[in-house]
Amino acid sequence: MLSLIVFLPIIAGLIILAVPSSQKQIIRIVSLLAALAQGVLAVLIWKGYDPALPGITAGPGGSPLGSFQFVEKIPWITLNLGSFGPLNIEYFIGVDGISITMVILTALVSAIGVLSSWTIQKQVKGYFILYNILAAAMMGCFVSLDFFLFYVFWEIMLLPMYFLIGIWGGPNREYAAIKFFLYTLFGSVFMLLVMIGLYFSVLDPVTGNHTFSLVAMATQSNFIKDAILGPDNVMWRYVAFIVLFIGFAIKVPMFPFHTWLPDAHVEAPTPISVILAGVLLKLGTYGMIRINFPIFPEVFQASLFVIGIFGAINIIYGALCALAQKDLKKMVAYSSISHMGYVLLGLSAGNSEGMVGALYQMFNHGTITAMLFLLVGVIYDRAHTRHIEKFGGLASYMPVYAAFVTVAWFASLGLPGLSGFISEALVFVGAFSSVTTRYIAMVAVLGIVFGAAYLLWSLQRMFLGQRRPDAAYDLVAGEDGHEHIHFHDWKGKIDLDGRELAMLVPLMLITIFLGVYPMPVLGMLTSSINKLVEVLSPVILPQL
Amino acid sequence: MEQLTPIGLNHYLTISAFLLGFGLFAVMTRKNAIVVLMGVELILNAANINFLAFSKYNGGMAGVMFVLFIIVIAAAEAAIALAIVINIFKIFKSVDVSSIDTLKE
Amino acid sequence: MSNTTYTVIFYLFAAITVCSAAFVVFTRNVIYSAFSLLFTFFGVAALYVFLSADFLAVTQVVVYVGGILVLLLFGVMFTNSIMNPGQKSEVIHLFPGFILLVGMIGTMLYTFYTSNGWKATGTTLQGSIVERIGYETMSHYVLPFEMVSILLLAALIGAAFLARFDKREN
Amino acid sequence: MHSLIQLSIVVLLLPLLSFVILIFFNRRLPRRGDFVGVGILGTAFGISAYIFWQVIVQSYDPAFRVAWDFTWINLGNVPGVGPLQIRMGVVIDNLTSIMLAMVTLISLLVHLYSTGYMAGDKNYGRYFAFLGIFTFSMLGIVLSDNLFSIYIFWELVGLSSYLLIGFFFEKESAADAQKKAFLANRVGDIGMWLGILILYSQFHTFSFAEIYAKLAAGEFGLSNAWLTAAGILLFMGCVGKSAQFPLHIWLPDAMEGPTPVSALIHAATMVAAGVYFVARIFVLLTPDALHVIAFIGASTAFMAATIAITQNDIKRVLAYSTVSQLGYMVLGLGVGAYSAALFHLVTHAFFKACLFLGSGAIIHAMHHEQDMRWMGGLRKNMPWTFATFTLATLALAGLPLTSGFLSKDAILAGAIGFAQVEGGGIYYLIPVLGFFSAMLTAFYMGRQIWLVFFGESRTHLKPAETHHAAHHAHDSHDSHTDLHHAEHQVHEVSWNMRAPLVILAALSVFFVYSPDPLDGGKGWFMKMIPTPATVVGQANPQKGSLIAAATATQLAGAVPEAVVGHAAAGELPNAASSHGQATSAHTYSDLRQAEIVHAGHAAHYTAIYISSVMVLLGIGLALVVYVFNIIDPEKTALAIRPLYLFSLNKWYWDEIYQATFIKGSMVLATTLSWFDTHIVDGMVNGVATLVRKFAFFNDSFDRHVVDGAVNFTAFTVNTIGAMLRKLQTGKVQTYIVMLILAVFGYFVFYFTRLIY
């Protein structure tokens, strides 16, 4: 079932490969069907998921499958490396509470992304093939429980992203694409090193061979004592943790490594921004939770404070940068830097509230930011500019759009009743409850105000007040006496059309519903998170 | 005159050496095919001298017999060679060896 | 005859041989070289006599002077118009030629006079060896003898075939 | 589930229903569906009135409290904590039922009023929808039984206030105002949120009841400083919402919203929610925190009053008076006059709503003229409005026989008592400020009454350009732009705007609350809302209780009575045994509190005298200035110009904030983004450039050295080949030469070997 949901887009890609590139509509419909089927599968998985099983580590009796669900485990690559012993890489996938939310999010966002890709006119065939590969790779990252498999998917993901930005992007796309690619590759090289190191220091408790299985790695007793990353090599474990953390932090993106994000977002086409912000950023934090922390729990405990500091920096720094932006999309990009900061802060809390909040924030940020970027795309399609100062008074002329923007903006600034609030609140609750990060949380709370500031300010400048003299649209007196808005070379509906509504309404409903009643998602998280916190709990801090 | 050294093997060898050298020189340098042939004859004679000298000073008849055969073969050789030279002359209207470089192709 | 005259005569003939050979090589006139070759052959024949191979000396004179030299002269006459004597034949590779001439001769002489690998054994051929040649020819060397005769035959036929003019040509 | 709970939940959800209906279907409904809002609010008010009847009137129980909650978020079995749940719930006690009735009533009246006031606006339906969601959130604050849900609804009222302030969003000023309001509230909410977090981090629960129980059990793990900090931080929420100094700046600007909204949100209910919240958390406030609260309240009351006396916009005067009155309430809470503060909350809600609605009627009649300088002489044209407005003004000024007198006097009495207990000195500043503000209140309200209703109409005096500017300001949202060219015909407003005025004015009279026009303490309200027992008293001995111990003689009287607790339920307690009455509700866990209440009742009549004198003084001053024109206001203004400007420009708070925080954060933001694009990203690009440089160098090395070697080999081979080709002349002799050369070479080699 998981394999199906992972490889369905690939199948769609193959079908598209067969379709002549002139049949744009067929291509679009094929990938839309694939995405919808993915969504259906995701719902089925969600239905069949038993939230009681925690996952994270090996299950009762040390069964290698752990308490994961929908597990598929077959040997993939088995070589005999002679002196290195047998190299066995497994096709080992499965979900637990942490990954299933991300799986659902991925299915949702990629379906939305296909809809939003409808306007792509340039090389439709190639676009959708790459898009489907991307969707498959993302899904694979979230379900794979074998480090090598994870790494493979992780790398596969880069390439389509590079082309999607570099070919279908904005004026400065090559720069952005290369920057994104190099940055992420830089991170994943580190990951590769640590992966190999781990392979040689972990034994599968059952077969007794070296293994890439993340489940086995998550149990400290499976480590060879004097291996390179064994429990004795404290320093190397620290190094590996930091290196791996940087690898993921680049994806998050964490403060010093974040500059690829605004460029990539500004240049990427709308659907790719949606995917990028909606899913790809989550891979960073997901990787930390799934790989980084359980494998090096004691280092994690030792570095809580630092992670928290970086989280707070992300929150406030991102918010302030967003406050200064003139380009709407860039502002949204910085806002997602700020919001991912909440995730880091919640992780740094190290307790259940914080971690649940962090994961829930990942989910909500996925939906909310997808909404934000879609809305930015809507106005960009019409006005061909994203300059905030070039609008004003739009609310009078595009009421539906204004309403959606208002809800999305308020969801993003964490208004109660919308899902963003609960996750931020839980993050702060956790961060404050943990003695380590208490004062960090006190500072990070400022982010709430700055967030409100830049969002409300942009809202005012674009939608409230009167039309600015240098606005990107004209006002023409309609036959009914009222003034109507007119965009140059925009034939379509002025206000949101059906396709855009079809993209936005589901996201909005999810946002509101999860803001009122979060348990559908939280219920899947809690047991896994509590287990994770137990796994991370040994607070014997080995001194470096 | 007693102090004159008696004629020994080396004297003959020396002569043959000179003949050989001159013969080679002729073969190498002269353009006229006939002179080249003469060079060849000189070389053969040098060889003959050697054979005979060794067979004289070492006893045995092998050298003598060889020289005999060599002379015969040299006669045949000379006949054939001259025939060839004449044919060459007929084809190229010249006996200039250096102008005959069809081997190059 | 006394040892001294013997030696003097040897040197005389040696000088004739070498000088005439040198003249053969170094003169530009084909006719001259042909004629000086005659002297060379004579010298060599004389040396044969010194080497107590009188029969061979005779053969040398007969074959070379009587046969080969005549052939050569014929060749010369065929190929060069006899009307203008003193016609020259050019040389090539003069420089490597000289180098090699000097070099070869030098090395050989050096070898002969430094290496005494072959000291003459006591037994030397004495007196005439005609009957021994005959004996050897018919005993040991009968097969080569026959071969040579066949060869000669073939050579004569071949030479005749090669050298003949055919009507069509002129 | 208790039946009242069910009813209260219905009350809570009805306005939400109205919001949902109106936001989606208002264009399809007749009259844009305003009747839906009014009808639903009427139902809600009916139900809450029934609850009020049940709880307060029919069977009063001082300890009445029914609560119900459900698991909202279940975090499962959290390691280190055990099963952890975040529960949501509603609670109904006496205070809640009173607040319910008050909120729904005022909301209903405002709905009714708005049908007239907003008639013809192009977003008429949306307006009622917003009113609905506001009422929903406000009721949520009132009903919620835990800090978390209070915070949620706290933000939601912020949202609805944002939406309603910016209802005329075409006006830049409105857009600015709404943003300002939301941000100022957010700043306050941060503090409140941190306070909540402090409590949660200790108790892992948000519920009031559990927190108080654990506090009383002394389970608070941190030091008392943290508890004080928690109190002050929670109070910051009130500072933001109730526009206390220093976050008061947003409320006057909020008057950009439609006037009924100002009446409902920015006078009666939402801004009072801050006070209500402080009352909810009153029991965990340490004396230090209370001192801070008291001082902030006093300073707010004073500052706002001083500003109000010079404002010309009729709504701004009322806005500042609101701030000032809120300051009173906070002051009351701070000094421990718990019931008095809440009493003032209720009374103020009614008469201030009445004032705003009245001013709305005036503005409506004056065709959106808001500047009092161009009004005047309206009493003849608008008698109903005049009567109700004046009555409410008297209540606000605090003249006897009005509700405002009862409550304000109670607060001031508590302040005096507090000052006595705390040992005088600086603490006397609080009652002094209070009384002075009372005088100022009387003065500026008298000024307003006079400017608006008496004298002659001064409309024609208005400078033309400002006149037209005013038109431009509002004709984007104003439907009736007809009479602007001609002289205004000012006429009384229609019934649906008149009725609320009358009702509210009627609710501003003393007998609604107390049989004794001079003593609110005898009224039902202050009897039924007694000061709750603090839960931090014994846990942390503070100055107050030490003093209490020192002045044990007084307590010798108070405490035993408390212990005996002669529950004087029926008989009206008199001033002599007032402390007995006060303590009869329950026994105080903190001596200091008992003492303050006692002293407050003792100081009751002093307060009455002083405040009455002050009020009369103020009104007299107003008369002197504006009626008899003995003092010319303009001349006075010129005489004390600095002070005048200081007050007119609202103590320059906006400018200060603009210069410090806003500009500061903007500068910081631009700096950071410059830093981001130039330094951080610059580093990245720098590294990239370095790598590129190295790559180029590497490339050239490759091309010239490595590749060069290959080419060189090829070249050499080529040349050698070309050289050797020369040898292949086809001349036999050449070959011979070579052959012999070889042989000779062999010779040479051979012989050289022979030599050695």
Q: Which residue has the higher pLDDT, D111 or D461?
A: D111
Q: What pLDDT was estimated at residue D506?
A: 87
Q: Is the dihedral of CA A105, A107, A109, A112 positive or negative?
A: negative
CATH classification of the domain holding C69: 1.20.120.1200
Buried/exposed D608-634: b ≥16 CB within 10 Å, e otherwise: bebbbebbebbbebbbebbeeeeeeee
Residue of D nearest to A260 (CA): D681
Domain that holds residue C46: 1-90
Q: Give percent above pLDDT 90 in chain D.
A: 5
Q: Which residue, of C44, C73, C90, is where some domain finishes? A: C90
Query: Does C94 contact B9 at a Cβ distance shorter than 8 Å?
Result: no
The model's pLDDT over D163-192, given as tens digits with 9 standing for 90+, comes to 888 888 888 888 888 888 999 889 899 999
Quote the minimal CA–CA distance from B2 to chain D in Å: 34
The model's pLDDT over D426-478, given as tens digits with 9 standing for 90+, comes to 888 888 888 888 888 888 888 888 888 887 777 777 765 554 444 444 444 44
List chains adjacent to chain C, taking adjacency as at least 3 C-beta pairs closer than 8 Å: B, D
Q: Pull the structure tokens for residue A117.
A: 């890709």
Q: Pull the structure tokens for residue D192.
A: 């409140």
Residue C137 lies in a domain: yes
pLDDT surpasses 60 at D569 = no
Query: Do C19 and C86 fall into the same domain?
Result: yes
Quote the minimal CA–CA distance from B92 to chain C in Å: 11
Residues listed for chain A: 544
Point out which residues pair with B30 in neighbouring strands.
C91
- pLDDT tens for chain A, 544 residues long, are 788 888 889 999 999 888 888 888 888 898 899 999 999 999 999 888 888 888 777 766 556 566 788 888 888 887 777 666 777 788 888 888 888 999 999 999 999 999 998 888 888 888 999 999 999 999 999 999 889 899 999 988 888 888 888 888 888 888 888 888 888 888 888 888 888 888 888 887 777 778 888 888 888 888 887 778 888 788 888 889 999 999 899 888 888 888 888 888 888 889 999 999 889 999 999 999 988 888 888 888 888 899 999 999 999 999 999 988 888 999 999 999 999 999 999 999 888 889 999 999 999 999 999 999 999 998 888 888 888 888 888 888 888 899 999 999 999 988 888 998 999 999 999 999 888 888 899 899 988 889 999 999 998 888 888 888 887 777 777 777 677 777 777 777 888 888 889 889 999 999 999 999 998 888 888 888 888 888 887 654 444 4
Q: Which residue, of C37, C61, C90, is where some domain finishes? A: C90
Query: Do C13 and C82 fall into the same domain?
Result: yes
Residue of D nearest to C103 (CA): D744
CA-nearest of A338, A326, A398, A323 to A368 is: A338
Tell me which residue in B15, B29, B49 faces C93 most closely, judged by beta carbons.
Answer: B29
- Which residues does chain C have within 8 Å of residue B57's beta carbon, measured at their own beta carbons? 118, 120-121, 124
Residue C119 lies in a domain: no
Q: Give the separation between CA D166 and CA D179, rounded to whole angstroms.
A: 8
Query: Half-sphere exposure (CA, 13 Å, Cβ side) for D394?
Result: 16
Render D574-627 in DSSP notation, one character per residue.
Answer: -STTHHHHHHHTS--S-HHHHHHHHHHHHTHHHHHHHHHHHHHHHHHHHIIIII
The full set of domains in chain B, from first to last, is 9-92 (1.10.287.3510)
Quote the minimal CA–CA distance from D717 to chain C in Å: 26
Buried/exposed D534-553: b ≥16 CB within 10 Å, e otherwise: bbbbebbebebbebbeeeee
The count of domains in chain C is 2
The model's pLDDT over D542-567, given as tens digits with 9 standing for 90+, comes to 433 333 433 333 333 343 333 333 33
pLDDT surpasses 90 at D628 = no
Quote the minimal CA–CA distance from C104 to chain D in Å: 7
Query: Does D744 contact C103 at a Cβ distance shorter than 8 Å?
Result: yes
Contact A80, A86 (CB under 8 A): yes
D and B adjacent (3 or more CB pairs under 8 angstroms):
yes
Q: What pLDDT was estimated at residue D475?
A: 42
The amino acid sitting at B13 is: L
The amino acid sitting at D286 is: T
Query: Do C70 and C146 fall into the same domain?
Result: no
Query: Does C104 contact D751 at a Cβ distance shorter than 8 Å?
Result: no
- Which residues does chain D have within 8 Å of residue C92's beta carbon, measured at their own beta carbons? 731, 733
Q: What pLDDT was estimated at residue D587?
A: 42
Residue of C nearest to D754 (CA): C115
Neighbours of C26 (CB within 10 A): 16
pLDDT surpasses 90 at D741 = no
List chains adjacent to chain A, taking adjacency as at least 3 C-beta pairs closer than 8 Å: D
Q: Which residue, of C65, C90, C115, is where some domain finishes? A: C90
Residue C61 lies in a domain: yes
- Which residues does chain D have within 8 Å of residue A256's beta carbon, measured at their own beta carbons? 680
Contact A375, A405 (CB under 8 A): yes
Sequence-ordered list of residues with C-beta below 8 angstroms from that of A490, at least 6 positions apart, any chain: A381, A382, A383
Contact D258, D315 (CB under 8 A): no
Query: Does D152 contact A450 at a Cβ distance shorter than 8 Å?
Result: no
Quote the minimal CA–CA distance from B105 to chain C in Å: 21
Best of C92, C101, C112 to disrupt the D interface by mutation (most D CBs within 10 Å)? C92
Q: Pull the structure tokens for residue B20.
A: 């050989």
Query: Do C1 and C85 fall into the same domain?
Result: yes
Residue of D nearest to B28 (CA): D733
Q: What is the pTM of this model?
A: 0.77
Residue C9 lies in a domain: yes
Residue of B nearest to D735 (CA): B28
Q: How far is CA A447 from the centre of its chain?
A: 20
Q: H helices within D118-223, ranges in order?
A: 124-143, 147-165, 172-203, 208-216
- Which residues does chain D have within 8 Å of residue B101's beta carbon, measured at their own beta carbons? 729-731
CA-nearest of C2, C10, C1 to B1 is: C2
Contact A81, A61 (CB under 8 A): no
**A402-416, A465-479, D284-298, D343-357: lowest mean pLDDT where?**
A465-479
Sequence-ordered list of residues with C-beta below 8 angstroms from that of A39, at least 6 positions apart, any chain: A107, A108, A111
Quote the minimal CA–CA distance from C2 to chain B in Å: 10
Query: Do C78 and C4 fall into the same domain?
Result: yes
**What is the phi/psi pair of residue D145, to 5°?**
-110, 10
Tell me which residue in B27, B100, B105 faces D736 most closely, judged by beta carbons.
Answer: B27
Q: Give the separation between CA A334 and CA A338, rounded to whole angstroms.
A: 6
**C85-89, C103-107, D242-246, D720-724: lowest mean pLDDT where?**
C85-89
Quote the minimal CA–CA distance from D353 to chain A in Å: 28
The model's pLDDT over D48-104, given as tens digits with 9 standing for 90+, comes to 999 888 888 887 777 788 888 888 888 888 887 888 888 888 998 888 888 889 899
Mean pLDDT of chain D: 80
Best of D725, D729, D731 to disrupt the B interface by mutation (most B CBs within 10 Å)? D731
Q: Give the separation between CA D352 and CA D407, rounded to whole angstroms.
A: 14
Quote the minimal CA–CA distance from D716 to chain B in Å: 24
Query: Do C17 and C76 fall into the same domain?
Result: yes
Q: Give percent above pLDDT 70 in chain D.
A: 88
The model's pLDDT over B67-78, given as tens digits with 9 standing for 90+, comes to 988 888 888 888
Please check whether residue A466 touches D, CB under 8 A: yes
Q: Which residue has the higher pLDDT, D390 or D32?
A: D390
Q: How far is CA A389 from the centre of its chain?
A: 30
Best of C94, C99, C101 to disrupt the D interface by mutation (most D CBs within 10 Å)? C99
The model's pLDDT over D471-529, given as tens digits with 9 standing for 90+, comes to 444 444 444 444 444 445 677 778 888 888 888 888 888 877 877 777 777 778 877 77
Tell me which residue in D197, D669, D673 faces A428 most closely, judged by beta carbons.
Answer: D197
Peptide bond into A9 cis (omega under 30): no
Q: What pLDDT was estimated at residue B1?
A: 40
Please check whether residue C75 touches B, CB under 8 A: yes
C and B adjacent (3 or more CB pairs under 8 angstroms):
yes
- Which residues does chain D have within 8 Å of residue B105's beta carbon, measured at their own beta carbons? 730
**What is the phi/psi pair of residue D144, to 5°?**
-70, 150
Best of C56, C115, C123 to disrupt the B interface by mutation (most B CBs within 10 Å)? C56
Sequence-ordered list of residues with C-beta below 8 angstroms from that of A478, at least 6 positions apart, any chain: A484
- Which residues does chain A have within 8 Å of residue D178's beta carbon, measured at their own beta carbons? 460
